[in-house]
Structure formats: structure tokens, C-alpha cells
Structure 1
Amino acid sequence: MTPEQMADSPDESLPPRAEGRAAPRAGTTAASRPEGGIPPRPLDAIDQDILQMLQADGRASIRSVAERVHVSRANAYARINRLVEDGVIRGFGARVDHERAGHGTSAYVTLKIVQNSWRTVREQLRQLPGASHIALVGGDFDVLLLVHTPDNRALRELVLTRLQAIPEVLSTRTLLVFEEEDLEPQG
């Protein structure tokens, strides 16, 4: 849900925009800006409170955000827009119970990859069905991949057929997840 959609909720009216400031385009983030762009502005305590509130409830209305952090709705709207424009907020989404959504098997897969092949491997991992999180890490392996699949057979197919077919992947290790829990932000 974008700040504009938050403002369009039934109890909200769209706060006025700052003069000369365009709305962020859908999908625009710091990651999509050119390298060497302007660094994000520092976050103050109100920005931190807004982030914490939106992490707990991404569907919170502008009105409720403003009331909780003790600023006007226009100020809350402008701050959320700035956080989106600066790439601090990368998007709004739903926390999914993967098992109830038909993906009852989850696993972390560690990968060792050819040196300097991260960008190539990352693009291929993004295309994998069920890939949920990808991280370049330091240590005994190079990449940590979280996947959600319908069952063990689909996980086996993903690891043995898809992952190990990537030429830059030297080895994999699969860690089956028995139980998982998303941590709620402290509030």
C-alpha cells in the first residue's frame, strides 16, 4: 500500500503536497536510482516511530500514523513520502503464512559461488520460484537463499535441478526449516 492509498482510506482526505514536489513513482526506490545519488537524509525520532508503526501495521492510515507520532496528517504524509523517495521504505506488503498459502516446505540454502559472480548469480536466483530472500554473506559460504516450496519434492527439484545447474554455483547445502516465526517490531 502506497502513502497515496493510505490517504485514500475512508477516514482520510489526501493531505496537500508540498509545492513543487512530485509524488514518487510506483516502484521508485533508492535501489533504482543511479549510483552515487544523493544519500538519504538522517532519520529523526519521529521518522523512527513512523517506521516502527508501519512495520507493525503497513495498512495504518495516515490519520493513525499522525496521531501516534503527534504530527499533522500533512506532515505524516510528507514524511512517509520522503522515506519512500529516499529508499528507506522499500514497499508495503503482507506477511504471509507460507504453509497456509500452499508452500509447506521452507529451507535456507547456502551456496558457494565463483568469485566475482555475485551479480550474475543474484539475477538467476531472483527468477527461482519460491525464492523469498537472497543475501551475499561472509563466512563458510557466499550466498544465503530462503525458499518456500509446496513440498519436499519441489524443494529437491529446485536445489538439484535449478540451483546446481547455475554454472557459477560451486556447491549448495540445504537447511530444512522445521518451524519459523516472523518477529514483530518492538513497540
Structure 2
Amino acid sequence: MGKALDQIDRKILKELAADGRITSGQLAERVGLSASPCWQRVRRLEEEGYIRGYAALLDQTKLGLTETVLIEVTLEKHDDDILRKFGEAMASYPEVLEAYLTTGEYDYFIKVAVDGTAGYEEFLRKKLYKVPGIRHSRSVFALKCLKQKPFYVPQN
């Protein structure tokens, strides 16, 4: 890693996370820099991995994915091969939005976007239940998203 983040770096990260389409000039103005030093900082933040990429936030419902399902999964055992296969499977399924290895009663927490209960049943039958090594899963449907924020930039 390069130099530590200062307050201007943090402002740049917040602005870009809030609006990835902001122009260099607008960004420089919002963080109180001229265009060239601002651009240099953005490039450094990209090179150092603070900025991993840029993406559009899409409306899942308008795309026909009306339900978000949160799934907890327990594996039969925790050998390297089972863990690798499970991780590869989750990474390959486009409807899996997030997948976390967790502590506690369950081994994994997965967030999936599906088209209703029929879409979820299809995901279970054709994908999740075909992954080797799953002992148990428990699912809940999200009724309403109270907060969705793709980033958090600590103040110091």
C-alpha cells in the first residue's frame, strides 16, 4: 500500500462511490482541488486498490428479479476441496449477489436475486442443491430493504 488516506482522498472516494459518472472537473471542484492533482489522486487510489472498479446500480425489480432471498448454508465438512468447490459455484451463479464465509451456526451467508418463489425454487433445484458438500440451508425472503449502501468510507 502507498501513503495513508487523507481527508481529500476520503472525499474523493465518497464522491465517486455516490456518483461514478461524475466528471473530473466536478469531482475536483467538490473536493477542493484543481483538476490535475485530483486526477492524479484518483489514479493513485485506483492503482493502490482503494477503487476496484466502476459500475451502475441497477433496479433489480425492473429487471424481473422481484425477490431477494437470504440463505444460510452449513457444509458437511470443511476440507479445502469442499470449500473451494462451494466458493467457485457461488462465484459462477449470476443470481448470487453476495456470498460470505461466516462465523457462528452457519458457514455461509448468501444473498440471491430471483424472480419470485418459482425463481427461487429453480435456483435451489438446479444450482444450490447440486453443489457438493451442503448439509443444511435456511432461507428467508426479504420483505423490504431498509438501507442499501454500496460503500462506507471511515472518517479517519
* TM-score normalised by L of structure 2: 0.86
1:140 pairs, out of 93, 98, 105, with 105
SS in 2 for 1:135: strand
| 1:118 Cα deviation after fit | 3.1
Structure 2, unaligned stretches of length 5 or more? none
CA distance in 1, matches of 2:83, 2:31: 41
Distance 1:40 1:159 in 2: 44
What are the equivalent positions in structure 2 for 1:123-134 lying under 5 Å apart? 123-134=88-99
In the other structure, the counterpart of 1:87 is 49
Match of 1:157 in 2: 122
Change (3 A) 1:169 1:41: farther
For 1:20, the equivalent position in structure 2 comes to none
Q: Which runs of 4+ in 1 moved over 4 A?
A: none
Percent identity over paired residues = 26
Counterpart of 2:63 (choices 92, 101, 115) is 101
Q: Given the alignment of the two structures, is residue 115 of structure 1 paired with residue 115 of structure 2, yes or no?
A: no
Bigger share in helix: 2
Query: Are 1:167 and 2:129 matched, yes or no?
Result: no
Q: CA deviation at 1:184?
A: 7.5
Deviation of 1:56 (Å): 1.1
Q: Deviations over 1:162-181 (max 9, x none)?
A: 11211122211111111124
Instruction: Tell me how many residue pairs correspond in the alignment.
Output: 149
Normalising by structure 1, report the TM-score. Answer: 0.72
Give the aligned residue type for 1:115.
H
The 10-residue stretch of structure 1 (112-121 or 147-156) with the greater mean CA deviation from structure 2: 112-121
Indicate how the Cα distance of structure 1 residues 140 and 41 shifts in structure 2: closer, same or farther if over 3 A, else same. farther
Q: CA deviation at 1:53?
A: 0.8
RCO higher in structure (CA 8 A, sep ≥6): 2
- Give yes or no for contact 2:28–2:35 (8 Å, CA) kept in 1: yes
1:36 matched residue in structure 2? none
C-alpha change, 1:184 and 1:171, in structure 2 (3 Å) is closer
C-alpha distance in 1 between matches for 2:150 and 2:84:
31
Q: How does 1:58-97 map to 2 (within 5 A)?
A: 58-97=20-59
Distance 2:83 2:55 in 1: 27
Provide the C-alpha distance between the structure 2 equivalents of 1:58 and 1:147, rounded to a whole number of angstroms: 24
> Aligned Cα RMSD in Å?
2.0
Post-superposition shift, 1:70? Answer: 1.0
What's the counterpart of residue 182 of structure 1? 148
Deviates more, 1:53-62 or 1:40-49: 40-49
